[in-house]
Amino acid sequence: MQKHFARFEKAPLNFGKSGLALPSSRPWAPFVHKSAVERQPKKPDTLCRMLQETAAVVIGSGALGSSVAYHLAKGRLSPVVLIDQHELASQTSPRAAGLSSAIRKSELMTRLARLGIEKIRGFAAETGEEMVYFQPGSLRIARTSGHEQQLRRDVERGQRLGVNIDLVSPAKAQELMPLLETAGIRAATYVPEDIYLEPGQVPRGYVRATAKLGGTLLPNTRVTGFGVKDGCIRSVITDHGEIRTAIVVDAAGAWTRLVGSFAGARAGAIATRHQLISRSRFLESNLITRSRVWSIAMYTSGPAMAD
Ligand SMILES: Cc1cc2nc3c(=O)[nH]c(=O)nc-3n(C[C@H](O)[C@H](O)[C@H](O)COP(=O)(O)OP(=O)(O)OC[C@H]3O[C@@H](n4cnc5c(N)ncnc54)[C@H](O)[C@@H]3O)c2cc1C
């Protein structure tokens, strides 16, 4: 496990200015499918001029945008263009802690989260791209009555939706996570199916897979506006030119609202700030552990601890 993460940390993707340069280190060699490289010229402005018209433009190459682009390309919507103002797959998504938990606050989110876990488990088979993940399960700890009620609701909702979740005693929780202090624990839940992974694998894998399906990648290309006529978007305006399209996906992450406002839309998304502390090997256990009081998540063997 350590070996895998060491490789992720030492071999960041180098997309180059055009985004089409092959990464220097071997693990990422298949990043751009050879035919895609041959088809695509290197300068974004040349690309924009050549593209002129496309079936769909996806703005943002994080986990969300790269996944949408891949699934559109897989669904034979062609051509698909994936645009990012920076290097591809370089912003929030690769900086996350990489925890993927099945239990969420609503039924819809729980179903989506479980689908996400299944997608990660089947990622390599579906896309042909490597996916290293760990499935140690997770503990959630409550030390206040409010958090205890929340965990009890999680158990009720999770079990109703078929998630393997249950309350465990403080002693059992400590057995699973020896670092845990049991004093003051009012409730703890354990979910064996929860996973974690080096999160950059998701957008990087989807970007590569999109390219293999013939999608066009436009890194270092900022969307600055939209051409709108009769209330419909007709084109995407970038700092390298304009692309005509009828379908636009705003997957700009923390910038979703800003990008939507270019078309007069009001996106219901708000960015929240997280903090990331990295330490290597600070725990003996392999379990993901979350404390509701401190809002801290911990796991071992990975590159990060996040709150
Ligand atoms: C420290 C930290 C820890 C986290 N831990 C977890 C976790 O354990 N589990 C979990 O599920 N989630 C976690 N998250 C949340 C998760 O990382 C985000 O929800 C997710 O990465 C968002 O993906 P995205 O594709 O929406 O955004 P991003 O990855 O940010 O992608 C958006 C892209 O849009 C591009 N863009 C923006 N504006 C424009 C424009 N005008 N033109 C062109 N491109 C543009 C950006 O450059 C960016 O690349 C964490 C987040 C942080 C910060």
Question: Where exactly are the structural domains of the chain?
Answer: 2-95+200-261, 135-195+273-306
The residue contributing the CA closest to ligand 1 atom 37 is 252
What b/e readout covers 223-232, taking b as 16+ CB neighbours within 10 angstroms? beebeeeeee
The residue contributing the CA closest to ligand 1 atom 3 is 96
The residue contributing the CA closest to ligand 1 atom 12 is 96
Crossing angle between the packed helical segments 107-121 and 145-160, to the nearest 10 degrees: 70
- 253 alpha carbon – ligand 1 mean position (Å): 5
- 187 alpha carbon – ligand 1 mean position (Å): 32
Please write the tens of the pLDDT for every residue from 155-183. Answer: 999 999 999 999 999 999 999 988 888 99
Percent of the chain exceeding pLDDT 90 equals 57
- The CA R_g of the chain, rounded to the nearest whole Å, is 21
The per-residue DSSP string of the chain comes to -HHHHHHHHH-----TTTS-SPPSSGGGTTSS-HHHHHHS-S-HHHHHHHHSB-SEEEE--SHHHHHHHHHHHHTT--SEEEE-SSSTT-SSGGGS--EE-S--SSHHHHHHHHHHHHHHHTHHHHHS----EE---EEEEE-SHHHHHHHHHHHHHHHHTT---EE--HHHHHHHSTT---TT--EEEEETT-EEE-TTHHHHHHHHHHHHTT-EEE-S--EEEEEEETTEEEEEEETTEEEE-SEEEE--GGGHHHHHHTTT-----------EE--SS--S---EEEETTTTEEE-SSSS-EE-
Residue list, ligand 1 pocket, CB within 6 Å: 59-65, 83-86, 90-93, 95-100, 222-223, 251-255, 259, 274, 276, 306
- 111 alpha carbon – ligand 1 mean position (Å): 21
What b/e readout covers 180-218, taking b as 16+ CB neighbours within 10 angstroms? beeeebbbbbbbebbbbbbbbbbbbbbbbbbbbbebbbb
CATH of 135-195+273-306, one of 3.30.70.2520, 3.40.50.880, 3.30.9.10, 3.40.50.150: 3.30.9.10
- 243 alpha carbon – ligand 1 mean position (Å): 24
Q: Which two tokens stand for residue 156?
A: 């009720």
Cα gap 305→282, rounded to integer Å: 10
Pocket-testing residue among 104, 133, 255, 272, ligand 1, by greatest number of atoms within 8 A of Cβ: 255
- CATH fold, domain 2-95+200-261, is FAD/NAD(P)-binding domain (3.50.50)
Pocket-testing residue among 57, 66, 86, 93, ligand 1, by greatest number of atoms within 8 A of Cβ: 93
Pocket-testing residue among 13, 91, 278, ligand 1, by greatest number of atoms within 8 A of Cβ: 91
- 203 alpha carbon – ligand 1 mean position (Å): 10
Cα gap 249→106, rounded to integer Å: 25
Q: Which two tokens stand for residue 79?
A: 């051509």
pLDDT tens, the chain, 307 aa long: 333 333 333 333 333 333 333 333 322 222 333 333 344 445 555 555 555 678 999 999 999 999 999 999 999 888 899 999 999 999 999 988 888 899 998 999 999 999 999 999 999 999 999 999 988 899 999 999 999 999 999 999 999 999 999 999 999 999 998 888 899 999 999 999 899 899 999 999 999 999 999 999 999 999 999 999 888 899 999 999 899 998 999 999 999 999 999 999 888 888 877 666 655 554 545 677 776 655 666 665 443 333 2
Cα gap 247→267, rounded to integer Å: 16
Q: Which atom of ligand 1 is nearest to the CA of 99?
A: 8
Type of residue numbered 188: A
Q: Which atom of ligand 1 is nearest to the CA of 238?
A: 42
The residue contributing the CA closest to ligand 1 atom 52 is 96
